[in-house]
Structure 1
Amino acid sequence: MKLDGFDYHCIPGETGVDINVAVAGRGPAIVLLHGFPQTHAMWRNVAPELTDRHTVIVPDLRGYGASAKPLEAGPETYSKRTMANDVAQLVRALGHERFGLIGHDRGALVGVRAGLDHPGAVQYLGILDVLPTLDSWGVLHGVDAKVAWHMYLMAQPAGLPERMIAAVASDFFASFLDAWDTDGTTFTPEVRKHYIDSSVAAVDSIVADYRASAGIDLDMDRKDRDSGRTLTMPVGVISQDWGSQLGFDAAALWKAWAPDLTYELIDAGHFMAEERPADVTRFISKLAAVTL
């Protein structure tokens, strides 16, 4: 599935891993990163609305969609640092030294790491419906943690989770599209099939991505937290109100990482860029305007 009006490129990221990326528009660069279990196609109703003011860069994360899916040689293969380096390198290859970065779900975690590791390149950071890695694990406890059952499954050592998921892969990935789509109308049959098929073809790399977030990514976050390192650029977060259900203050958790923070709740489900694209586009445009 491709974005209408966008040109497609295959650009080497970290360690030469090929990254599939769609590009259109002119002006300051903005990168849109997708979540799970999606591909860059999740931005199909948002990205075209930004091309009159921006060069819009929409990649598939390594291990997802049409990007390469390297074998998990070690925890660093799918660490968010490695994935953030993919983004920084492909943006430079496209001729931009600085860029805005908007991420949803997994893509937002990559965005946070990019902001921490590449503060001179990331001008502003937009986050859709997720917490930083360290805080995500910290707020899960007791029976309420069942909402994140997949995170615990994919955190297990290599082998068993991949085989378990592969045995029922279509049902596994479809369950998230169904459970997190608040009214059941967000995805057309074509889009739903694209996400499921793409994810079924990427079981091992998706599991490796999640496994990294229960290991090496946590270690990086802890080191940054202990050293007082924060995001120095303007950060905007929009989220559904799941913090009150799980008993934490999401805005306060984000403020600890992002002193220059704007935070707002949105009346939408998890897949808000597809459920409420006009609202997400306005959020991005408002955040981008801060740096103009």
Structure 2
Amino acid sequence: MIVKEEQKKEGNDEKLFINLIECYLLLDNRFSLDLYPICVPCLIKVSLKKEEDEETQKEVEIALLALSRIDDRNKIERDLYLNEVKEIIQYHQKHRNLTRLAYQSAWGFLIKRFLLDKSLEVVIANELHFEREVESELDGLMQSVDWKKKEEEMGETERKAMDIISRWISSIRYNFFSCNLWNEEYAELISRIVDLFRASRDNHNEMGKECIQSIKAVAKYRTVKLDDLLKSGVIDAGLEEIQRPTPNERMTYESLKFYYMLSLRFKGMTGDEMEEAKRKELKRKMLEKMEEKGVEDIFNSFQETFRFFFPDDSGFIHL
């Protein structure tokens, strides 16, 4: 139906055409490669609308939501989207014309393209300031949620905020997996994820798990400054989770996995990555923090429980 509508020489129903594309993407994100040159420009055109009336905002929101659904394993040529998506994001940064969901969706679409196009990193980090923008959005969204409530007790506004937060965390994880640049904005973003982890873990285990998985990606994949991790509070947050009187098995596993990834980072450090004296000092600080919390026996007991997850029997937490 999409192809037939696009091929019409006369009498093309633009609204029907847009609706067909949006419905298809919202139902199935594995879009045919042949359809990208047809459909991406169409949705981009809708997303570029600047009017702030409610009807236009909804049109833009749905178009960007549909774009954000496109499968991350299929590469889209940059000339189909990049300049336009940059314009959408930068215009919102100046005028705040998009809904929260629309803005997240614009970023979600761009970050998914990053997996197959590493050259986007400079645009994402240095031109559009992904880390700074996500931190600001998370601040606002977290204030919209009463974290003492369970999900079934929340109102519609709170549930919507939770959904958008979850989408941001997913985009953060995509970015951490792919990004190699490091700047001070990343350190602040990690601190914000730690705040979200602490706020959500009692009544929203799934979101807490998403947070610790994102932080785990930092430890494993990024050229992260390890002293920034110490400053962010993530070390303390993980230890708090492991020490809970009634631990959640999945959350405990993810926390332990974070420490495992961190220990591998320390073991793999070279002179090019960190001066030996600084590495030893950071290592000492981490071990002192663990000793202060009195968690050595706890680590050892969990290591036995989760042994099949951690192939290094010499002690995955010993740095």
TM-score norm. by structure 1 comes to 0.27
- Larger RCO, structure (CA 8 Å, separation 6 or more): 1
Max radius of gyration: which structure? Answer: 2
Structure with the larger helix share = 2
Structure with the larger strand share = 1
